[in-house]
Amino acid sequence: MADTERASVSAGARLHFGFTTLSTEHDRLYGSLGVALADPRVTVTATPADAVVCPDVVADSVRRTVDALGVSGARVELTETLPRHVGLGSGTATALATTAAIARVYDRRPRVRERAPVLDRGRRSGIGVAAFEGGGFVLDAGRSTDTCGTPSRTPPSDGSWTVPPVVARYPVPPAWRFVLVVPDADPGRCGDAEATSMQTAIADADPETGERIAGLVTSRVLPAIVAGDAAAFGAAVTEIGRLNGTWYADEQDGVYRPPVDALVDTLLADDAITGAGQSSWGPVAYGVTTTAERDAARAAGERALDRAGVTGDVQLVAPQNCGALR
């Protein structure tokens, strides 16, 4: 039996700026960069139970966790939820928060990095797991191309693999903010549809694009985050997003999927925004800004929705430089 009657875990969203390479001509595949956000959040509460009692959205994660821990069951409630399939990492954050809450209520260590493969999380990108663990700006190492270097040799779904390791983590300056523009649009790709699109992108990926991205990461992104230069950081991640988009253009009807293309154009035209792009498969668009420009940046997000002719939601959120709150 658990030492506590209930345990709660709260995790923020994340932005995924893109991969460093999808070309199998390079020694490593994938390699991703992103940042942890303080909001929006998912909060999961677990209590011991003799069976699995939970909402459908976390049922698979609860069952896998209960099996892995060798316990009888768990009752799980969600008091906050992240918007699903919009590009904010809801699936990974929710699965890991669920596992961590159940583990804690049974007085076990969460060990989310070790357990992520059992939940089928972190197969390609390690950003969601790393953001949950420690927050901040994260760059992961990707995978050896020898082990997953062809579209038919992606990491297996049976959990017999490890999450890509973190090679760089830096705190995001506390004065930085991110505008999240979430249009009312079709959800981003996930599951089998995402796997198929990734396979196509890998098969056709230009190796020179990955070399350009690697140069941007080392010469511009990392120096900007260390120096606290929001303008330089925004410009660099904007370019990385555009380069990533060339890999997916045939899969998503452009460098950015509609209506993200129109949203990004409007954001980038505003002086309050230092950089903008699409997180993961979208449809969320993000803008990089600072607390000094928060009102103008929020207005730019509202204007972007209006000019794109879509409804939606605009949030101005802070980075999170710590892991999930327990």
Question: What is this structure's pTM?
Answer: 0.94
Number of structural domains (the chain) is 1
Query: Is residue 191 a part of any domain in this protein?
Result: yes
Q: Which stretches of the chain are DSSP H helices?
A: 56-69, 90-105, 112-115, 127-134, 145-148, 191-204, 207-216, 222-227, 230-252, 260-268, 294-308
Is there a domain that residue 216 lies in? yes
Q: What is the CATH number of the domain that holds 113?
A: 3.30.70.890
- The Cα 27–Cα 68 span in angstroms is 33
Render pLDDT for 26-60 as a digit per residue (tens, 0 to 9): 999 999 999 999 999 999 999 999 999 999 999 99
Residue at 2 is within a domain: no
Each of the 326 residues of the chain gets a pLDDT tens digit; together they read: 344 689 999 999 999 999 999 999 999 999 999 999 999 999 999 999 999 999 999 999 999 999 999 999 999 999 999 999 999 999 999 999 999 999 999 999 999 999 999 999 999 999 999 999 999 999 999 999 987 745 545 555 555 679 999 999 999 999 999 999 999 999 888 877 888 889 888 998 999 999 999 999 999 999 999 999 999 999 999 999 999 999 999 999 999 999 999 999 999 999 999 999 999 999 999 999 999 999 999 999 999 999 999 999 999 999 999 999 88
Domain assignment of residue 83, yes or no: yes
Nearest to 255 by CA among 232, 233, 222, 285: 285
Q: Point out which residues pair with 159 in neighbouring strands.
A: none
Angle at 73 between CA 71 and CA 75, to 5 degrees: 140
Sign, CA dihedral 76-79-80-86, equals positive
pLDDT digits 0-9 by tens, 51-100: 999 999 999 999 999 999 999 999 999 999 999 999 999 999 999 999 99
Considering the domain boundaries, does residue 325 fall inside one? no
Q: How far apart are alpha carbons 157 and 204 in whole angstroms?
A: 23
Structure confidence by residue, pLDDT tens digits, 309-325: 999 999 999 999 999 98
**Is 1 inside any structural domain?**
no
Does 174 fall in a domain?
Answer: yes
pLDDT of the residue at 86: 97
**Rounded to whole angstroms, what are the CA distances from 61 to 6, 9, 14?**
18, 14, 19
Q: What residue numbers bound the domain in which 179 lies?
A: 7-317
